[in-house]
Structure 1
Amino acid sequence: MPRPYCRGCRLPQNACLCAAVYCQPCPLPVVVLQHPSEATHAKSTVPLLQLGLSGLRIEVAETMAPPPGNWWLLYPGGNAVDLDDGGPGPDVPVEGLIVLDGTWRKSRRLLHLNPWLQHLPRLSFSRAPAGRYAIRKGPGGQSLSTLESLAHVLGRLSPGFDSAPLYRLLEARVAQFQLHRPCHGREEAG
């Protein structure tokens, strides 16, 4: 018999997050280019972003055509505008934001397979809050999830944007994973 799923959050009913969801409009156009292997990963934060931000566009593919308009890429690099350095910020308004979703290796692949992305102005950050996504770590354990990165950047670009509901939703999902992990209640070997 198939597992029953919640119609609201589309998660298994025993993992329903509807009580933690507060959906708000995304303050600017955002396209998440998600690597196909990430789309099926149970620990992906993009489904949480979809629950918490209306108007978010998700493209699950290795390549996509450039959207019309003036877009910025959220990705580190030597020419990226650091939103946390206290400087003036972008010299032109950010009309839309493209976010790559996948491991660092897969996000570099997305960047390579979409050469037009390399010509976009970039945004980055250097002093984001500590990562709360305890169930998945990047290189060196310092990386943020896509949800955390986007929540931080939207808060910087749109001062009226409240990122707290996204962080609460992430914390609810992390708590679920920690509750159901195989070694729950035992100290993990390190």
Structure 2
Amino acid sequence: MANDDMVWEELPKIDADPPRMRDKCIQCRRPIPVCWCLGLPNTRLSPNSRVIILQHPAEVKRCLRTAPMLTYALEPGKCLTFRGKKFPLPHHEGLADILKDPNTVMLYPTNDSVALDTLDPVGINGQKPYNLVILDGTWPQAKAMFHGSPMLYSIRSCKLVGLPTSEYVIRTQPTEGCLSTLETGTFALSILEGNSQLKDELLRPLQYLCRFQLQNGAVTHQSKEWRIKQNTYPKLIGKRLAKQLRVLPEVS
């Protein structure tokens, strides 16, 4: 009974209003202290080509997404995002025409993929601006999106080769060759435009974010592949991932 009396005495002292949420940036929607917008170019960039992001719905829930960095670094209309698990859907206005365009290329590893740097940059041999399609999601999500979207099968598929390790050092990547969506779009766009300076401008928000996080307690993350090879990855992996990484699981 005494405990009940204490509860009723404490009840009026509880604040009826919910705790105040941290102020958020009106652009990136991240809390002001961890906003990366200061790393964006002073003036939005306007390359000849466009980036077309086909985004899995689950990506919206991720707190450390890099696709918005690409969106806000480029002029409106130069980075278009379509969300779904299959493409195109009826509400994806204009996407079907983009996917049918002969100047559309897609970054996705198929058996027929060619190295992106073997394509003519814009303006060389009469090459028109490209539509660069990127699948934004985890590898299993991207695979499901591709196989569930027959219109993607006819697009020229390309791959990036000879790239440096990801600068997204505060997030664990599956393998050493994995890049964030921002990095993928940035490297590909600089190749297709024949303009290496694009990399310096477009990667700055990611560098700003990582530098801030590391200065405030975050630690550098190695890829799962690297940690498995060093026997420091704490989780067991399945045969499929082991095959992908060319690592045989230990047999007890």
| Corresponding position: 1:144 with 2:179 | yes
Task: Provide the residue aligned with 2:64 in structure 1.
Answer: 43
TM-score between the two structures when normalised by the length of structure 2: 0.65
Q: Secondary structure at the match of 1:162?
A: helix
Query: Which protein has the larger Cα radius of gyration, Structure 1 or Structure 2?
Result: 2
- RMSD across aligned positions (CA): 2.5
Which of 55, 59, 66 is the matching residue for 1:34? 55
Per-residue deviation, residues 98-117 of structure 1 (Å, max 9, x unmatched): 11011111110110111111
Task: Provide the residue aligned with 1:19 in structure 2.
Answer: 38
Task: Provide the residue aligned with 1:53 in structure 2.
Answer: 74
Identity over aligned pairs, percent: 27
Greater Cα offset, 3-12 or 106-115: 3-12
Task: Provide the residue aligned with 2:194 in structure 1.
Answer: 159
In structure 2, the gaps of 5 or more residues are: 1-19, 89-94, 221-231, 233-252
Task: Provide the residue aligned with 2:24 in structure 1.
Answer: 5
Q: Is the 8 A contact 2:38 2:205 kept in 1?
A: no
TM-score between the two structures when normalised by the length of structure 1: 0.84
Following TM superposition, by how much is the alpha carbon of 1:83 offset from its aligned partner in structure 2, in angstroms? 2.4
Distance 1:119 1:177 in 2: 41
Q: Is the 8 A contact 2:53 2:81 kept in 1?
A: yes
Following TM superposition, by how much is the alpha carbon of 1:3 offset from its aligned partner in structure 2, in angstroms? 2.1
Distance 1:147 1:180 in 2: 23
Distance 1:149 1:113 in 2: 22
Greater Cα offset, 59-68 or 113-122: 59-68
Q: Mark the CA change 1:184 to 1:31 in structure 2 (over 3 Å): closer, same or farther.
A: closer
Q: Is the 8 A contact 1:63 1:114 kept in 2?
A: yes
Q: Is the 8 A contact 2:170 2:213 kept in 1?
A: yes
Following TM superposition, by how much is the alpha carbon of 1:79 offset from its aligned partner in structure 2, in angstroms? 1.2
Q: Secondary structure at the match of 2:111?
A: coil
| Corresponding position: 1:174 with 2:210 | yes
Following TM superposition, by how much is the alpha carbon of 1:93 offset from its aligned partner in structure 2, in angstroms? 5.0
| Corresponding position: 1:80 with 2:113 | yes
Task: Provide the residue aligned with 1:99 in structure 2.
Answer: 134
In structure 1, the gaps of 5 or more residues are: none
Matched residue type, 2:133: I
Q: Secondary structure at the match of 2:26?
A: coil
